[in-house]
Amino acid sequence: MQTEYAAAPPQWVSLSRTTGYREGMPKTPPLDVLFEDNHLLVINKPVGLPTQGVVEGATSVVTAAKDYLKQKYKKPGNVYLGVVSRLDASVSGVLVLARTSKAAARLNEQFRERTAKKTYWAVVERPPDPPAGELTDWLKKDEKLQRMAVVSRHTIGAQKAKLTYRTLNKQPLGCLIEVELETGRKHQIRVQLAHLGCPILGDRKYGSRRKLPAGIALHAHTLEINHPVSKEVLRLVAPPPKSLATYAKAD
């Protein structure tokens, strides 16, 4: 059995920490909850909010989610949250957190075994040619430029990166494509699309000529997982932000 979950009205949480958002973004953003039970918390992450690992006193998904759970359930002390997948701060979309260590272990196994299915939407500067296809590259970090790069498969330390894509909608200002990851390398979608000649709008690090008000035009649209306890198939859908919504009408 498969159940689909999409966004409900955002749940507001009062954040006492200093925001980690970029200039112009709200100081106390809503936590956009897609799914919640005793084992999972799934949100639609906004652009500009890092998943975790921020300096002390700054807001991340983890700190905001812990505050949300503390306030909603009146929990004293520490709240457990396991991070089983991450999104770059500049990327929006569906993000799952585990509320128990058992759930975290079982979800980690799904991501490790690649049974979790992730689909992204990206707006690129030009339509890809062909309009649908498969990309297989080898990636390695360029330490000098501090970014990932496509290298020869024989390069020491290179990791295989594979994805499939298809064009959803073409407009004069950009082309909306859907991407399904088969591997999960750092900045994989960003670097592979740039290597194809189709940089993501706003992604100046990987060759985009255009700047967006915040973040880049990359959104984690759907995530399909097996519930770690009930084993029910969950299809979690995160509506795109306004910056992508104008492109989000498939032909």
Q: Which residues are catalytic?
A: 88
On whether the CB atoms of residues 67 and 78 are closer than 8 A, the answer is no
2-5 and 233-237 as β-strands: parallel, antiparallel, unpaired?
Answer: parallel
For residue 191, what is the enclosing H or E element?
A: helix 188-195
Q: What are phi and psi of 230, to 5 degrees?
A: -80, -20
Q: Who contacts 195 (Cβ-Cβ below 8 Å, separation ≥6)? A: 135, 137, 150
Nearest to 198 by CA among 248, 143, 102, 125: 125
- Give the residue carrying structure tokens 């004293």: 76
Three-state DSSP state, 44? strand
Give Dmax (Cα) for the chain: 55
- Residue in the structure block whose two tokens are 């297989």: 136
